[in-house]
């Protein structure tokens, strides 16, 4: 039975999603990627009109957001946001981070979040390994072999911790949610017109170059009205988006470091997957993850949460530049040695940070 290119079921038993996932995942022979959309460089007008369009409607009248700088983001007026007529409610923001500022979030996700004992990782409870030594042990050993802690790290949950056995969240299993992630989620939500948004649950998924994420829907929350935000860092990935059933012909697109996916409305419960991580990086992509400043150590009195709060500054160019310079010297790695280690690690550890609204749990 043929699959439908529209958001209508092709048939009860039709599965258009899984075959495309397997095709893009395949290694021998290597698949043809002509059907994968690259929003960063697409110029074919026919493809633009058929699959997606650049959207400005959600960024209109956001002058209040243009008056502040937060989390290393560009001004909202400089963002590029795409929407997809055949997949209503799905948006992609092309890397809205100022060059050099992705490193703050890289450091938080790779080093800080697994180190926090209130967070949970896939290695929590394993008697042979202290999950909180992951980053330091990588720095000391400088290897990325099968048994190494960083190689074994697959996910970290923040705030409400997801129970993978019961497939649910619980009030009895939660930790304090990181303030900087909370502020970032609020800012993104307001910029896209979703109104009040208070993220209290997040998961950081870590991928290796041979990793995949099978097709699934995020349906463990109690309320699906709030959107999901997912930020990609590291190597480029192929993202596959379908409909609420697998009978919908999926859309494949590249997600590059810094890109943000938003799933809302009809797309909130859509099937999605990561069939492939690509390599290697281009020189331009690697440069965007270089630090914006050269420094030795950050002041120990400034926490990441305080830093993110401090980034809400006035709109004047001079103030923003001076404040950002001072702030960025206070974040990311504690030494230049660790900075270079992070870049080396990212050569094989792409990941995404996904967060959810508190009323959705």
Q: Is 272 annotated as a binding residue?
A: yes
Q: Give the per-residue pLDDT at 343.
A: 46
pLDDT at 30 over 70: yes
Q: Give the per-residue pLDDT at 37.
A: 93
pLDDT at 317 over 50: no
Q: How far apart are CA 100 and CA 109, in angstroms?
A: 16
182 backbone dihedrals φ, ψ, rounded to 5°: -60, -45
pLDDT band at residue 139 using 50, 70 and 90 as cut-offs: confident
Q: How far apart are CA 65 and CA 56, in angstroms?
A: 15
pLDDT at 251 over 90: yes
* DSSP secondary structure letters along 51-85: H-EEE-GGGTT-HHHHT---TTBPPGGG-EEEE-T
Assigned CATH for 17-360: 2.60.120.590
Span 122-142, average pLDDT: 72
Report the Cα 152 to chain-centroid distance in Å. Answer: 20
Q: Is 294 annotated as a binding residue?
A: no
The model's pLDDT over 141-162, given as tens digits with 9 standing for 90+, comes to 777 777 787 888 888 989 888 7
pLDDT at 140 over 70: yes
Closest CA to 356 of 195, 208, 159, 122: 159
Q: Give the per-residue pLDDT at 313.
A: 33
Q: Give the per-residue pLDDT at 240.
A: 97
Kindly list the strands in the beta sheet with 237-241, ordered across the sheet, starting from the edge strand earlier in the chain: 213-216, 272-277, 237-241, 251-255
Give percent of the chain above pLDDT 90. Answer: 23
Question: Do 77 and 62 contact (CB within 8 A), yes or no?
Answer: yes
Question: Do 137 and 148 contact (CB within 8 A), yes or no?
Answer: yes
Q: Is 51 annotated as a binding residue?
A: no
β-partners of residue 159 are 201
In sequence order, the 6+-apart residues with CB closer than 8 A to the CB of 169 are 160, 161, 162, 163, 201, 220, 221, 361
Q: Which of 71-75, 110-114, 289-293 has the highest mean pLDDT?
A: 110-114
Question: Do 10 and 4 contact (CB within 8 A), yes or no?
Answer: yes
pLDDT at 36 over 60: yes
β-partners of residue 230 are 261, 354
User: Does the predicted model carry a pTM greater than 0.85?
Assistant: no
pLDDT at 214 over 60: yes
Report the Cα 144 to chain-centroid distance in Å. Answer: 23
Q: Give the per-residue pLDDT at 51.
A: 61
For every residue of 141-170, which 3-state class applies, written as one string?
HCCCCCCCHHHHCCEEEEEECCECCCCECC
Tell me the torsion sign for CA atoms 207, 215, 161, 127: negative
Span 285-289, average pLDDT: 63
Question: Do 256 and 202 contact (CB within 8 A), yes or no?
Answer: no
Q: What is the largest CA-CA distance in the chain?
A: 63
Domain ranges, ordered by start, for the chain = 17-360
pLDDT at 306 over 80: no
In this predicted structure, which of 169-173, 287-291, 294-298, 315-319 has the lowest mean pLDDT? 315-319
Span 326-339, average pLDDT: 38
Q: Give the per-residue pLDDT at 137.
A: 78
pLDDT at 185 over 80: yes
Q: Give the per-residue pLDDT at 160.
A: 86
Q: Give the per-residue pLDDT at 58.
A: 56
């Amino acid at each position: 039975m043929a699959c439908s290119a529209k958001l209508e079921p092709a048939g009860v038993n039709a599965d258009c999603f899984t075959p495309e996932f397997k095709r893009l995942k395949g290694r021998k022979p290597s698949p043809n990627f002509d059907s994968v959309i690259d929003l960063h460089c697409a110029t074919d007008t026919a493809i633009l009109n058929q699959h997606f369009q650049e959207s400005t409607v959600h960024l209109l009248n956001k002058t209040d957001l243009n008056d502040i700088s937060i989390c290393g983001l560009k001004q909202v007026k400089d963002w590029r946001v795409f929407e997809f007529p055949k997949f209503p409610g799905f948006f992609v923001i092309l890397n809205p981070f100022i060059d050099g500022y992705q490193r703050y979030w890289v450091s938080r996700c790779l080093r800080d979040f697994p180190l926090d004992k209130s967070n949970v990782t896939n290695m929590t409870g394993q008697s042979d390994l202290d999950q909180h030594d992951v980053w330091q042990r990588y720095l000391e050993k400088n290897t990325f072999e099968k048994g190494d802690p960083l190689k074994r790290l697959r996910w970290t949950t923040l705030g409400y911790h997801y129970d993978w056995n019961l497939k649910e969240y619980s009030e009895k299993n939660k930790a304090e949610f990181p303030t900087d992630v909370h502020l970032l989620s609020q800012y993104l939500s307001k910029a896209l017109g979703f109104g009040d948004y208070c993220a209290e649950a997040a998961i950081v998924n870590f991928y290796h170059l041979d990793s995949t994420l099978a097709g699934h829907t995020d349906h463990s929350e109690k309320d699906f009205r709030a959107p999901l935000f997912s930020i990609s860092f590291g190597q480029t990935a192929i993202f596959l988006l379908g409909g609420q059933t697998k009978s919908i012909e999926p859309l494949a697109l590249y997600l590059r470091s810094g890109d943000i996916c938003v799933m809302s409305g009809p797309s909130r419960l859509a099937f999605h997957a990561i069939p492939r991580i690509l390599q290697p990086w281009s020189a331009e992509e690697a440069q965007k993850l270089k630090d914006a400043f050269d420094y030795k150590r950050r002041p120990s009195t400034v926490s990441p949460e305080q830093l993110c709060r401090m980034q809400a500054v006035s709109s004047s160019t001079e103030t923003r530049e001076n404040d950002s310079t001072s702030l960025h010297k206070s974040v990311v790695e504690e030494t230049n040695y660790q900075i270079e280690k992070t870049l080396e690690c990212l050569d094989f550890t792409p990941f995404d940070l996904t967060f959810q609204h508190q009323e959705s749990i």
